[in-house]
C-alpha cells in the first residue's frame, strides 16, 4: 500500500492593504472684546468694542500602505458676515489699483482668512495646511522614518510647545532610533526660495522707471530708482536634537539650530534680538536708512541704500546667521 501526499506550497506574504482615514474638527467661536485695538493700543478708549462669530474647520486625509503614509491637511477659517472690500463670492477681499500698483484689503481681521457673506459661496479660503509623505528610510541598518513636504514641527526641536520651533514648515524631518530610549532628529527647514535669483526677477518699479539686471538701477552702476527689489534669497534652517530617557520619568532633549538669512525673510523666523531692529528698512529722500541693517531697501529715486553690501538697495549680500542652543 502506498500513501501519496501532496505538499501545499508555502503561502506568499500578502501585501499590506491600503487604508484611508479622514479625521478633523469644526470649531464654532464667538468673541467679545472691549478697549482693545490693533491700531492705537490704548486701553482707555471705550469705543473699541468688537463682537463677532467665526467657524474654523480642520481636516486631515491620511492614506497608509504598511508603514508608508501620505497626509493632506486642510484648514478653513471664516468670519460670520462679509469683511474686506470685495464680496467673497467674487474672490478674496482685495482691491488693487492699476495707477500706483497698491493693494488694500479693508477690515479682514486676524485669525481668519475669509468670511461668509449672503449665499456663503466663499472663494479663496481653502488652506493647504499639510501635504507630506512619511516612510521608513531604505538601506539604513537603524530604524528610521523620514517625512518630506509641508508638515508640522511637532517635537523636532523641543518637547514643550512653542519653546523654539512652532507651527508648520516645508522641508525634511528625519527620526533615527539609535537605541532603546535614544533618538536622533534632524530637520531641514526651507524658509525662502530664490529660484534662479534676483537677476531673473525684476523689481517692482514706480513712476515709469525701468530696471537693469534685476537691480534698482537704471543703468549698470547708475543711481538707485524708486522701486522695491526682489530681496528674498535661499534662506534656510537646520535643527538637530537628541532624545534620551535614562530612566522612567526623566526625558532629556538637547537641541542645536542654525539659521541663515540674506535679505528679506519671514518675520516669524527673524525676531529682534539684542536691540537690533528686523523690519525691512526703507530709505528716505536723503538716502538715510531706518529699521533693519540686514534688509535695507532703496525706495527713493536717485539715492542708494546705506548700509547694504550691494549697490541694488536690497541688502542681498548682507548675511545673517543665528545659532541657538537649548
User: pLDDT tens across 306-324, in order?
Assistant: 333 344 555 555 778 889 9
The neighbouring-strand residues paired with 258 are: 238, 323
pTM over cut 0.85: no
Q: Which three cell numbers stand for residue 144?
A: 528610521
Which of 142-146, 267-271, 273-277 is the least confident region? 273-277
User: Higher pLDDT residue, 14 or 324?
Assistant: 324
Q: Which three cell numbers stand for residue 152?
A: 508640522
Distance CA 320, CA 210 (A): 30
Whether the per-residue pLDDT at 16 is higher than 90: the answer is no
Residue range 114-136: mean pLDDT, rounded: 87
Structural domain boundaries of the chain? 18-131
Whether the per-residue pLDDT at 73 is higher than 90: the answer is yes
Write the DSSP assignment of 71-137 as a string of letters: EEEEEEEEEES--SSS-GGGSSS-EE-TTT--EE--S--SS-SEEE-TT----S--EEEEEEEEEEP
DSSP state of 88: G
Position 286 scores a pLDDT of 44
Between the two ends of the chain, the Cα-to-Cα distance in Å is: 81
The neighbouring-strand residues paired with 152 are: 168
Whether the per-residue pLDDT at 75 is higher than 80: the answer is yes
User: pLDDT tens across 271-306, in order?
Assistant: 777 766 666 655 444 444 455 556 555 444 344 433
Contact 293, 282 (CB under 8 A): no
Contact 82, 108 (CB under 8 A): no
Q: Which three cell numbers stand for residue 263?
A: 535679505
Amino acid at each position: 500500500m502506498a500513501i501519496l501526499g501532496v505538499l501545499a506550497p508555502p503561502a506568499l506574504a500578502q501585501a499590506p492593504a491600503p487604508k484611508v482615514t479622514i479625521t478633523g474638527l469644526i470649531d464654532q467661536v464667538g468673541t467679545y472684546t472691549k478697549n482693545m485695538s490693533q491700531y492705537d493700543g490704548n486701553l482707555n478708549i471705550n469705543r473699541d468694542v468688537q463682537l463677532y462669530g467665526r467657524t474654523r474647520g480642520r481636516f486631515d486625509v491620511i492614506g497608509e500602505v504598511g508603514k508608508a503614509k501620505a497626509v493632506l491637511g486642510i484648514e478653513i477659517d471664516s468670519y460670520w458676515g462679509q469683511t474686506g472690500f470685495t464680496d467673497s463670492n467674487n474672490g478674496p477681499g482685495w482691491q488693487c489699483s492699476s495707477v500706483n500698483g497698491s493693494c488694500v484689503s479693508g477690515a479682514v481681521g486676524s485669525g481668519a482668512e475669509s468670511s461668509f457673506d449672503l449665499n456663503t459661496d466663499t472663494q479663496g479660503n481653502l488652506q493647504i495646511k499639510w501635504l507630506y509623505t512619511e516612510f521608513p528610510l531604505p538601506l539604513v541598518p537603524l530604524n528610521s522614518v523620514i517625512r518630506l513636504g509641508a508638515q508640522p514641527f511637532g517635537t523636532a526641536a523641543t518637547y514643550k510647545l512653542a519653546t523654539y520651533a512652532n507651527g508648520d514648515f516645508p522641508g525634511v524631518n528625519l527620526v533615527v532610533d539609535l537605541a532603546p530610549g535614544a533618538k536622533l532628529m534632524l530637520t531641514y527647514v526651507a524658509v525662502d526660495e530664490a529660484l534662479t535669483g534676483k537677476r531673473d526677477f525684476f523689481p517692482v518699479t514706480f513712476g515709469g522707471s525701468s530696471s537693469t539686471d534685476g537691480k534698482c538701477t537704471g543703468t549698470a552702476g547708475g543711481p538707485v530708482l524708486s522701486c522695491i527689489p526682489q530681496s528674498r534669497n535661499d534662506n534656510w534652517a537646520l535643527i538637530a536634537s537628541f532624545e534620551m530617557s535614562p530612566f522612567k520619568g526623566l526625558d532629556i532633549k538637547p537641541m542645536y539650530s542654525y539659521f541663515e538669512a540674506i535679505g528679506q525673510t519671514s518675520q516669524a523666523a527673524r525676531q529682534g534680538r539684542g536691540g537690533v531692529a528686523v523690519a525691512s528698512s526703507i530709505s528716505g529722500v536723503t538716502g538715510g536708512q531706518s529699521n533693519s541693517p540686514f534688509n535695507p531697501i532703496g525706495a527713493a529715486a536717485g539715492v542708494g541704500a546705506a548700509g547694504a553690501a550691494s549697490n541694488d538697495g536690497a541688502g542681498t549680500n548682507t548675511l545673517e546667521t543665528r545659532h541657538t542652543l537649548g
